Amino acid sequence: MERMTGHVQPYAWGSTTMIPELLGEKPTGEPQAELWLGAHPSAPARVGDRSLDDLVTEEPDATVGAASVAAFGPRLPYLLKVLAAAQPLSLQAHPSRAQAEAGFARENEAGLALDAKERLYRDDWPKPEVLCALVDSEALCGFAEPAETYGHFERLGVARALALVAPLAKEATPAPERLAAVFGALLRLSGDELEVVDQVVKAAQEVDEEGPYGRFAETARDLSSFYPGDPGVLAALCMNRLSLRPNDAVYLPAGNLHAYLRGGGVEIMANSDNVLRGGLTPKHVDVDELLSVLDFSPGFAGLVVPIEVTPGAWRYPTPALEFALWRLEPSATEIPLPGSGTGRVVIVTDGSVSLRGAGTELALGRGQAAFVSAYEEAVVYGSGTLFVGGPGTAEV
């Protein structure tokens, strides 16, 4: 086990304070959106004085574990992050493995550089992910029931908008087809058609109530304050809005449309940087490609319910095999570090803890991280909260 240093990504939507406060550093005034703790080649973490991706390449079995290498090859199959959002992220989704492989090959054949702004597939991996909130957070996740969304637009009373979403009320048509037609039409608004965005926002500013309709109007107000006139403001109103409390977690499979609005937490995902965007961003948007990967089934599967695997240790179960996530809260007793047989990333989010292995001990304070290689056994003690990420093969 060895101390790890992550890589901070300064995306424009990031908080100027959350990650610096976690790391015990003075804020610079610049946004710090994500802290990457993994071996993705675009921003690998450092373990001691070496890059984690180099360690994995040189000794994959010892570093990541034989089961993971057999399943995913000689690479770290997951990426652990701390996400800190001060403003909404783009409307986005991630591809399945087959979609990623096809898209990556297609863009390679077209000669697109990996760092090209218009590049959609930067690798050939899927990107299912879990976010576990560290602070109160807001997000959009998946599509709401079409009849409910139509009812909200109907109450808002903007005739032009109601005409645009009229297919949502056609119950004889399957819900996914209704949502696909309306969502695509809203994202493609342009020119004078975009006047309807301002009309909807103006009407939403008059809404002063709680409940689903109030949240619908709040979403329009929130998004338009950052992206005035963006068609994504209307498209986002077709989605479910979620409020996450600390330790609440949400799983986002391939094809799930989502956007974090504000807040932050610990995020783990398959080791990919493939993001397909549809709006609410200055970055490259490809509506057609986004629509091709989206799952338009309405509803929300619910939060990930953690399972207490041993006193003081909870696992967040998902169908993803690329990663596993645990939350540990040691106090009076030692807790075995989960994920035996796989390479694990540990980050302390509160208090201070120590990892003790065979002849090795490592003290970690808030914001500090470590990498524990596949065949190191360790126990955790102290007082605080830490998250542990590892390959999903540890759960088999």
**Which of 147, 295, 316, 162 is CA-nearest to residue 244?**
316
Looking at residue 303, its pLDDT comes to 97
> CA–CA distance from 195 to each of 167, 218, 348 (Å)?
20, 19, 47
Q: Tell me, what DSSP letter sits at residue 191?
A: G
Catalytic residues: 277
Give the three-class secondary structure for 53: helix
Q: For residue 71, with 0-12 CB atoms within 10 Å meaning exposed, 13-18 middle and 19 or more buried, which class applies?
A: middle
Kindly give the interhelix angle for 146-156 and 175-187, rounded to the nearest 10 degrees. 50
CA angle, corner 352, sides to 351 and 353, nearest 5?
130
Give yes or no for a contact between 318 and 302, defined as CB atoms under 8 angstroms apart.
no
Residue 200 to residue 153: CA distance in whole angstroms: 9
> CA–CA distance from 340 to each of 35, 65, 262, 389 (Å)?
25, 9, 34, 11
Residue 352 to residue 282: CA distance in whole angstroms: 39
Looking at residue 395, its pLDDT comes to 44
Give yes or no for a contact between 176 and 146, defined as CB atoms under 8 angstroms apart.
no
**Which of 152, 211, 162 is CA-nearest to residue 182?**
162
Looking at residue 352, its pLDDT comes to 95
Neighbours of 355 (CB within 10 A): 22
Q: Pairing mode, if any, of strands 313-315 and 369-372?
A: unpaired
Type of residue at 355: L
What is the secondary structure of 114-135 as a DSSP string?
A: TT-TT---SSS----EEEEESS
Give yes or no for a contact between 80 and 35, defined as CB atoms under 8 angstroms apart.
no
Residue 141 to residue 320: CA distance in whole angstroms: 18
What is the secondary structure of 150-166 as a DSSP string?
A: HHHHHHHT-HHHHHHTG
- Whether the pTM exceeds 0.85: the reply is yes
Cα atoms in the Cβ-side hemisphere of radius 13 Å centred on 169: 10
Looking at residue 396, its pLDDT comes to 35
For 356, phi then psi, to 5°, come to -125, 125
Beta-bridge partners for 34? 9, 83
Residue 69 to residue 63: CA distance in whole angstroms: 10
CA angle, corner 246, sides to 270 and 19, nearest 5?
65
Average pLDDT along the chain, 396 residues, taken 10 residues at a time: 95 96 96 96 92 94 94 95 97 95 96 92 94 98 97 97 97 96 97 97 96 96 96 97 97 96 97 92 92 96 95 95 96 90 96 93 97 95 96 64
For 297, phi then psi, to 5°, come to -65, 130
Residue 260 to residue 139: CA distance in whole angstroms: 4
Looking at residue 247, its pLDDT comes to 97
Give yes or no for a contact between 46 and 3, defined as CB atoms under 8 angstroms apart.
no
Q: 365-389 in b/e burial notation, b at 16+ Cβ within 10 A?
A: ebbbbbbbbbebebebebebbbbbb
Q: For residue 316, with 0-12 CB atoms within 10 Å meaning exposed, 13-18 middle and 19 or more buried, which class applies?
A: buried
